[in-house]
């Protein structure tokens, strides 16, 4: 598997596989966000998910994949700091705002800065047509957020701080997208990075949230554990897919395609969280999809 993936780097076939991985990550990331925003406190949900995916990653990191090269440890330390900041900002966002409003703002802030970061770090360049696609995609995302803001009836009193935190979270998305792409390219075996990333990344939040876990009613332990395991599996597939996409394809394209997660998030918000999806939202979702298609075709 590793050798096949490595053989795709820098090839046309690799870009096609990366596109598929990015779109898969988009759907799963929207599902992951809904899991964190759902029934339980977002802080507890995030800590439980982290504990589950660290426990699952441990045997793979310690026994299944090659040991990380010495130069990887500072890279893992940097990823730990960035992702911890992202989780704090994300929990602050989801605990204050309606999912259908704040999620598009989070995802809309990221692609522009991620494309710039990919240019600075990896020397990638977008064509004018691709930049136009980014503009259309971002217009659709922020339009969806504004429309949802007008119609939402929950969390109105905390919506302004929620939106501010959503912008901060989006900045972290752009930062970790570029940094993680650098990290997974810095090791010989991409699965070494994935296994150790999930093990290290999953350690902080469960410890930090331990006092709140101890106050959790006993009736909520099993439902939270189920959510944690489900979230861990979704996280592996989602973050693993986008990291592999940035290894074998172009970082900027993968980052933009992943933001079609907003379309999936709107559908999940309707099906799972009971938020309405009308013709205007469908039109804005079509803009997002059109922008993503333009980015791919113009490349």
Write down the pLDDT at residue 37. 59
Query: Which tokens hold the place of 167?
Result: 């912008």
Residue 186's pLDDT is 94
Q: Residue 220: enclosing H or E segment and its boundaries?
A: none
pLDDT for 156 equals 64
Q: Is residue 103 within 8 Å of 265, Cβ to Cβ? A: yes
Distance from C-alpha of 93 to C-alpha of 288, rounded to nearest angstrom: 22
Tokens of 195: 């296994």
Which residue's entry shows tokens 């990290």?
183
Half-sphere exposure of 266 (CA within 13 A, CB side): 29
Intra-chain end-to-end CA distance of the chain, in Å: 27
The per-residue pLDDT string of the chain (299 residues; one tens digit each, 9 = 90 and over) reads 778 877 888 788 888 899 899 989 888 887 776 666 555 677 888 889 899 999 999 999 999 999 999 999 999 999 999 999 998 898 888 788 777 778 778 877 777 778 888 888 888 888 888 888 888 888 888 887 787 777 766 566 777 788 889 889 988 988 998 999 999 999 999 999 999 999 999 999 999 888 887 888 877 788 888 888 988 998 889 889 999 999 999 888 888 888 788 778 777 777 766 666 677 777 887 788 788 778 877 76
Between CA 43 and CA 29 the distance in angstroms is 17
Q: What share of the chain is helix, strand, coil (3-state, %, to 5)?
A: 85, 0, 15
The span from the CA of 214 to the CA of 190, in Å, is 37
State the pLDDT at residue 197: 95
Q: Fill in the DSSP letter of residue 278.
A: -
Q: How many CA atoms lie within 13 A of 251 on its CB side?
A: 29
What global pTM score does this model have?
0.83
- Fill in the DSSP letter of residue 96: T
């Amino acid at each position: 598997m590793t050798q096949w993936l490595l053989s795709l780097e820098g090839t046309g076939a690799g870009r096609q596989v990366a596109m598929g991985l990015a779109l898969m990550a988009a759907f799963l990331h929207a599902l992951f966000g809904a899991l964190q925003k759902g029934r339980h406190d977002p802080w507890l949900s995030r800590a439980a998910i982290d504990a589950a995916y660290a426990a699952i990653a441990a045997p793979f990191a310690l026994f299944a994949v090659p040991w990380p090269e010495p130069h990887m440890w500072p890279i893992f330390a940097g990823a730990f700091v960035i992702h911890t900041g992202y989780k704090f900002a994300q929990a602050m966002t989801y605990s204050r705002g309606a999912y259908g409003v704040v999620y598009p703002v989070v995802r809309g802030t990221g692609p522009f800065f991620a494309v710039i970061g990919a240019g600075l770090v990896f020397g990638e360049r977008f064509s004018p047509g691709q930049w136009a696609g980014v503009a259309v995609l971002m217009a659709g995302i922020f339009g969806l957020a504004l429309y949802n803001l007008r119609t939402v009836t929950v969390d109105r009193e905390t919506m302004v701080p929620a939106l501010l935190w959503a912008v901060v979270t989006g900045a972290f998305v752009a930062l970790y997208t570029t940094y993680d792409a650098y990290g997974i390219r810095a090791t010989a075996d991409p699965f070494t990075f994935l296994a150790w990333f999930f093990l290290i990344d999953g350690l902080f939040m469960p410890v930090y949230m331990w006092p709140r876990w101890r106050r959790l009613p006993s009736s909520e332990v099993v439902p939270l554990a189920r959510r944690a395991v489900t979230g861990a599996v979704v996280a592996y597939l989602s973050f693993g897919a986008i990291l592999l996409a940035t290894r074998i394809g172009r970082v900027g394209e993968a980052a933009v395609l992943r933001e079609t997660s907003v379309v999936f998030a709107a559908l999940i918000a309707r099906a799972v969280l009971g938020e309405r999806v009308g013709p205007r939202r469908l039109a804005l979702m079509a803009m997002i999809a059109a922008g993503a298609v333009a980015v791919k075709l113009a490349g």
